[in-house]
Structure 1
Amino acid sequence: MKKILIILLVFALIVIISVIAIDPLGFRSPLSPTGVPTIAPTDSIQSLRSSTTTPNFASEIIVDGLNNPWDIIMLPDESYIFSERANKLTHLANGVKTSIPTPDDTVVRGEGGLLGLAIDPEFSSNRFIYACFNSNLSGNTDVRVVRWKLSLSNDLLEDRRDIITGIPANESGRHSGCQLEFGPDNYLWVGTGDAAIGSTPQDPTSLGGKILRVDR
């Protein structure tokens, strides 16, 4: 009895190896009228290969000469505002750049400076934009998220409101990363850096190394 079981197991193993050798990628068509599976036609395999071809993209430089560009947002009129870490904010429309005055309390050092941007989901009615940056407004340097109202001329930030303060910042600026994004739930989501302190992300009392959800 044991000998018969061994023979059956060996036979089953041979069948499995044969199937893998014939059809290693699993491209099989439905059973033929005889009940024997057949190899998928070559055109099916070629179709799969063509569907994974890397798409072609055309690139165009619309602005250059920037100093550590960090983030970019599109306004409803399809113009842009982009940040440079060296505390520069620029409005770009039809190839024309207009500088927007930035906060005086921005600290540009190492990986710190003017960082992420976001546009309010209701921008068309409230004109709110958001930015995060290293700041010395409180005396010590922290990373904070601030909201402004953008002027109708797109060249001035008004009515500042500090949304989040006290995100830890390294004095050297290391790991100051701060990214802003509005989700489909209309909450503002904020990704923060760990200030180059490995234990910060696991510290529930710290805002560093976290993803924060903000009810604006």
Structure 2
Amino acid sequence: MTGGEILIECLKAQGVRCIFGQPGTQNIAIYDALLRYGEGTIEHYLVRHEYSATIMADGFARSTGEVGVALTVPGPGASNASTGLLEAYTDCIPVLLMTGQGHTQHSHRDQGKMFHGLDQMRFFEPLTKFCGSAKTVRDIPDLIESAFYAMRTGRPGPTMLEFPMDVILGEDKVKLPAKIRRPIDKRTDETAIQRAVQQISSAKRPLILAGSAVLHAGARPALQKLAEKLQAP
């Protein structure tokens, strides 16, 4: 399988349903794999500007509780998308930005490619929970797993991965992941829970203020049951 095909299969295993992006020279091989391996499983939404890709991925993540995925070209395309990624970082929203990149031997060098050779690792490190670059085809499954683990554990937040053209076009044999289960954070503070129960039980006019963590934890049904039981807005 090619690196692009492996990438799409890994995204499918993580439950990705849609990608917001814009094709270009450095990521066109990913789009080719998406067309052949993602058809009927992963929907693509074409944007007019890379800024819109991460903003739309952010909105998707907020409304569904799933990871939002954006796809751009490197350099100016990736930097255009950084505003939406910073928004996701500020509000703890799980958004994955995937970008293409020049050939590995030319990565982070001009090589006549204008400014598409931006050192994206240094650029995005302050804006993400995890960022990585595939050096070989075999790196792809581990990078995808690391990015999604970072987005789904602790405080949610964005991640960024870059895929050089020769890696996406290259071929190798790798073990594709089975369907990935979300990691469960089992840490609880029993004392705090009991204190909250007592305060809620004694409240005369309870009001619930719920943040996005409820959505990302998959606790919306439990919150709804609590609100109905308390008859609280």
- TM-score, structure 2 normalization: 0.25
- Flag the structure with larger Rg: 1
Of structures 1 and 2, the one with the larger relative CO (CA 8 A, separation 6+) is 2
- TM-score, structure 1 normalization: 0.26
The answer to which structure has the higher strand fraction is: 1
The answer to which structure has the higher helix fraction is: 2
